[in-house]
């Protein structure tokens, strides 16, 4: 099957990152689409956990919000919001946190708070939500963002959620328990932290993407790991599952 | 025992100008009708607390009811920004808005501390973030047993917490189920509370996973069928996702918003 879009490539790649994981703390939007695709493709037993308190949700359609009724009625358990953060996230029980970002810097720090100065913001963004503790406490973190120069910036205007802070050793100094962002999946390729410097480095480009274009769309001098991989194309099965999932998502909360 | 009141009586009797008010609900069971009643009664200078201010908070802010917001994520879930909130923060319209910003984990623990009668809660959170630099209700504490440095968040005790639930009985005991969010903690943390419910029934039948708030823990209950629309009440009606999508265009423009406000909220709504 050909004729897939850059967004479909991104979502399929993000879903593959969940193969072999037991549990995923899911943010809304692109991460939720990818996590639900993973359950329909390579990770059928993956436990989806949403910050609204739903554990092991198996939504039949994509939720619009993280608190849609569909997530509750298809869950193994529904717990209170304090419980989801204190008992389930905080001790480091959850394998992977899946986050989006308005800004992401070379060390994987995330801004979802403001663009510009905090007191006089150019753009007021929604804020932190669950992200600071997801980024701190999940065993590993993956970030899904569309690759734009205004998004992948040299330095975030506001550190909402910590990646590698200002570089090697910073997470340990802060006492953060999780490993931090191990994967950034965009619509152009995949970035991973360099083992020595923690700097996000291009490790794979999606088919047909010129690495120079990725450089142009990145707000820091992007390093490329050689040999640069090319992401495998979406399979027919992955594409069909993704299209079925998004076609079904006409909203609704799935009360039964 | 909780008093059974009308929505207008409940708001008039329990919420004063300048109060710290929490209308809690995590996507589910959002007390929208109560928010609209606050607007109709012209409350001013409220400090609004909520983990996830959404479109009803956007409406309260745009209508000029709020001078402060204590929150952790202010957006229209799955759709985008809250444009009235942004207009208040970015341009001071209709008035400036003081922000006190937290993470979800921090806010949830602030309510839990408030409900527990403690001055603060302890958690692993905020470390390394810029939130610490802009929020005075977060500090560092040392564990007396291990010496470990941890994060403390100040208790949050609203003057009034308003929630919506599926049912209450005639004495005012409240039952809610599905995604129950942080409503129990927010209500128990408050000095006064108002619960709007889909229906008042003679007797509450037990339901798996339901929360029950005894009548003596609630100040007042009002029967307001549909009081959570366009959010949802599990087993009563579904979330009106189209209304959330439509809010984006309504809220972008001040005039369009004011027109919506007068047509939809300010003209008294006849309730059966």
Query: Same domain, yes or no, for B44 and B96?
Result: yes
Within-domain flag for A1: no
Query: Same domain, yes or no, for B39 and B135?
Result: no
Query: Same domain, yes or no, for B94 and B143?
Result: no
Helices of type H across B46-180: 55-62, 83-91, 104-116, 131-134
Q: Which domain holds residue A181?
A: 6-248
The dihedral region occupied by B227, where left means phi > 0, alpha psi between -120 and 50, and beta the remainder, is: alpha
Query: Same domain, yes or no, for B83 and B207?
Result: yes
- DSSP assignment, residue A152? B
CATH number of the domain within which B205 lies: 3.40.1080.10
**Percent of chain B residues past pLDDT 90, beyond the cut:** 96
Q: What is d(CA B146, CA B102) in angstroms, rounded to the nearest whole number?
A: 26
- pTM of the entire predicted model: 0.96
Test A64 with B182 for CB contact under 8 angstroms. no
Q: In total, how many domains does chain A have?
A: 1
pLDDT given for residue A65 in this prediction = 86
Do A157 and A111 contact (CB within 8 A), yes or no? yes
Query: Same domain, yes or no, for B177 and B247?
Result: yes
Query: Same domain, yes or no, for B81 and B216?
Result: yes
Q: Choose, out of B88, B105, B210, the residue to mutate when testing the contact with A (most A CBs < 10 Å).
A: B105
> What are the tens digits of pLDDT across the range B198-232?
999 999 999 988 999 999 999 999 999 999 999 99
Query: Same domain, yes or no, for B70 and B178?
Result: yes
Place of tokens 């959404």: B54
Q: Which of A146, A110, A114, A141 is nearest to A127 (CA)?
A: A114
Query: Same domain, yes or no, for B165 and B136?
Result: no
* Strand locations in B15-95 (E): 20-23, 46-50, 66-71
3-state secondary structure of B21: strand
- Give A61→chain B minimum CA distance, Å: 13
Would the pLDDT of A251 be above 50?
no
Q: In total, how many domains does chain B have?
A: 2
CATH number of the domain within which A172 lies: 3.40.1080.10
Asked if the C-beta of A28 comes within 8 angstroms of chain B's C-beta atoms, the answer is yes
> What are the tens digits of pLDDT across the range A114-173?
999 999 999 999 999 999 999 999 999 999 999 999 999 999 999 999 999 999 999 999
- Give A161→chain B minimum CA distance, Å: 6
Test B27 with A66 for CB contact under 8 angstroms. yes
pLDDT given for residue A192 in this prediction = 98
Max alpha carbon distance in chain B (Å)?
A: 60
Q: Which domain holds residue B98?
A: 3-102+161-263
Confidence of residue B268 (pLDDT cuts 50, 70, 90): low
Query: Same domain, yes or no, for B55 and B116?
Result: no
Place of tokens 């993000």: A14
The dihedral region occupied by A29, where left means phi > 0, alpha psi between -120 and 50, and beta the remainder, is: left
């Amino acid at each position: 099957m050909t004729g897939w879009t850059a967004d479909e490539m991104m979502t399929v790649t993000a879903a593959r990152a969940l193969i072999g994981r037991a549990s995923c703390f899911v943010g809304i939007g692109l991460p939720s689409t990818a996590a639900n695709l993973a359950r329909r493709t390579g990770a059928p037993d993956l436990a989806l956990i949403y910050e609204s308190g739903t554990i092991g949700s198996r939504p039949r359609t994509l939720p619009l919000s993280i608190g849609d009724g569909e997530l509750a009625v298809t869950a193994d358990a529904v717990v209170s919001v304090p419980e989801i953060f204190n008992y389930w996230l905080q001790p480091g029980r959850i394998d992977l946190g899946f986050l989006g970002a308005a800004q992401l810097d070379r060390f994987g720090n995330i801004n979802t708070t403001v663009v510009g100065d905090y007191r006089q913001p150019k753009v007021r963004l929604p804020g932190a939500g669950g992200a600071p503790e997801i980024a701190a406490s999940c065993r590993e973190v993956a970030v899904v963002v569309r690759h734009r120069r205004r998004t992948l910036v040299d330095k975030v205007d506001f550190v909402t959620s910590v990646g590698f802070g200002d570089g090697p050793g910073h997470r340990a100094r802060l006492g953060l328990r999780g490993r931090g962002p191990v994967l950034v999946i965009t619509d152009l390729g995949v970035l991973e932290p360099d083992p020595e410097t923690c700097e996000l480095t291009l490790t794979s480009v999606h088919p047909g993407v010129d690495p120079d274009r990725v450089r142009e769309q990145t707000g820091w001098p992007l390093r490329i790991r050689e040999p640069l991989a090319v992401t495998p194309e979406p399979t027919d099965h992955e594409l069909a599952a993704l299209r079925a999932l998004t076609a079904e998502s006409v909203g609704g909360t799935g009360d039964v | 025992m909780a008093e059974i009141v009308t929505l207008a009586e409940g708001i008039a009797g329990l919420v004063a100008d300048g109060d710290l008010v929490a209308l809690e609900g995590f996507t589910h069971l959002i007390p929208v009708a109560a928010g609209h009643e606050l607007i109709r009664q012209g409350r001013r200078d409220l400090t609004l607390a909520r983990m996830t201010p959404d479109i009803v908070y956007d409406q309260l802010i745009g209508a000029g009811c709020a001078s402060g917001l204590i929150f952790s994520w202010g957006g229209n879930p799955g759709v985008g920004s809250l444009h009235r909130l942004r207009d208040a923060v970015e341009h001071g319209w209709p008035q400036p808005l003081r922000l006190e910003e937290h993470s979800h984990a921090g806010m949830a623990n602030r309510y839990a501390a408030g409900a527990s009668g403690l001055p603060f809660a302890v958690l692993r959170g905020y470390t390394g973030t810029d939130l610490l630099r802009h929020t005075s209700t977060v500090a560092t504490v040392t564990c007396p047993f291990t010496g470990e440095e941890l994060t403390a968040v100040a208790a949050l005790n609203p003057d009034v917490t308003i929630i919506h639930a599926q049912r209450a009985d005639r004495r005012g005991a409240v039952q809610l189920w599905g995604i129950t969010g942080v409503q129990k903690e927010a209500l128990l943390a408050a000095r006064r509370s108002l619960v709007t419910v889909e229906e008042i029934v003679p007797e509450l039948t037990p339901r798996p996973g339901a929360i029950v708030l005894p009548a003596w823990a609630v100040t007042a209950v009002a029967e307001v069928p549909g009081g959570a629309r366009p959010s949802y009440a599990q087993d009563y009606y579904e979330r009106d996702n189209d209304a959330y999508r439509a809010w984006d265009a309504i809220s972008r423009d001040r005039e369009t918003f004011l027109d919506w406000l007068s047509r939809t909220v300010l003209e008294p709504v006849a309730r059966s």
